[in-house]
Amino acid sequence: MSKIFDGIYLFSDIDGTLGRTETGIPKRNINAIKNFIENGGTFGVATGRYLSDLDFVKEVPINGYSLINNGASIYSFSKNKFLYDKMLPKESFEYFKKLAKENLDWGLVAVNKQGYLNVNYINNRIKFNKEFPTINLDTLQGPFYKFLFLVDKNKIKDIIKSLNNNNLYKDVYFVQSGDNLFEMVLKGVNKGMALNFLCKEQGINIKNTFFIGDSFNDEQIMKIAGISACTNITDTYLKNICDFVANSCEDGAVADFIEYITNFILNKNKLCI
């Protein structure tokens, strides 16, 4: 006997959507995801986080592939395997060292196979909320999955625009993933690209994919998913891309979206399953 969410694939961003490091994941979101899966749905996260920083979602049932590292990696928690796992080009480390030495007030994190590493920590750098192991820039070794930069939130958009317009960084690009956080990632790689690849690889009808997020690194997947949603504190530009605006993360944004999906299926029946 078929279930209401058979053939439905739901992906959620983590930080600011599914939960927050400071406050955890609302039980309402966890319970709604459990119910979604029990009724035939497939759930995965679509996040900027890499595998070494995903203990945060260990309480969340995940039964499908997840799009991690801003789409540079596709990973199955249940199978403990990657569908693919892309690294930054070697030149990216030279870009990172240049930016580190020119911007002494930026918070810096490198992500390699060791995990997340604070780089060349000095007292007047902006601090990340989470304490990662610290390593000196001169002893840091790749290959790297991505680099993160914590900056003044009032300057972040101008910084990103300037970097993306600089021809020096031809094989990477910079994307905002938090109020004062942006990342260097592989050019051409994003959550939307990863979703498109996953659908083709696994024979999924992309019209049956649903995504909810809250930040600019979600823009491409918001545009490509069958139905997209965001939280109520998301930038207006992104809200205008989405089909549905949920309440805040703390109030259970993912649960809100699952209720929307339920009504969408029951009342409109427009999915191509």
271 falls in which pLDDT band (50, 70, 90)?
very low
Average pLDDT over residues 208-229: 97
- Higher pLDDT: 129 or 71? It is 71
- Asked whether the beta carbons of 122 and 106 are under 8 A apart, the reply is no
In single-letter form, the type of residue at position 149 comes to F
Structural domain spans, the chain:
9-86+189-268, 91-186
Measured distance CA(143)–CA(188) in Å, rounded: 18
Which pLDDT score is estimated for 137?
87
Cα separation, 46 vs 75, whole angstroms: 10
Residue 105's pLDDT is 87
Lowest mean pLDDT among 61-70, 171-180, 219-228, 252-261: 171-180
Type of residue numbered 209: T
Kindly report the backbone phi and psi dihedral angles of residue 62, in degrees, each rounded to the nearest multiple of 5, phi listed first: -125, 115
31-50 average pLDDT score = 96
- CATH code for the domain defined by 9-86+189-268: 3.40.50.1000
DSSP code for 223:
H
Query: Cα torsion at 87, 11, 192, 177 (round to 10°)?
Result: -70
Mean pLDDT of 16-45: 96
61-101 pLDDT, tens digit per residue, is 999 999 999 999 999 999 999 999 999 999 999 999 999 98
Residue in the structure block whose two tokens are 């990103």: 160
Q: Does position 181 have pLDDT exceeding 80, yes or no?
A: yes
Residue 270, pLDDT above cutoff 60: no
For residues 140 and 119, the answer to whether their CB atoms sit within 8 Å is yes
The pair of structure tokens assigned to 273 is 């399953």
Largest CA distance in the chain: 62
What are the respective helix, strand and coil percentages of the chain, to the nearest 5? 35, 25, 40
Q: Exposed, middle or buried, 14 (CB in 10 Å: 0-12/13-18/19+)? A: buried
Per-residue pLDDT at 144 exceeds 60: yes
Report, at the CATH architecture level, how domain 91-186 is classified. 2-Layer Sandwich (3.30)
Burial group, residue 155, by CB count within 10 angstroms (0-12, 13-18, 19+): exposed
**Edge-first strand listing for the sheet containing 73-76:** 65-68, 73-76, 81-85
Please report the sign of the dihedral spanned by the C-alpha atoms of residue 237, residue 183, residue 200, residue 78. negative
Q: What is the value of pTM for the model shown?
A: 0.87
pLDDT at position 273 is: 46
| Distances from the Cα of 17 to the Cα of 26, 45, 264, 265, angstroms | 10, 10, 21, 22
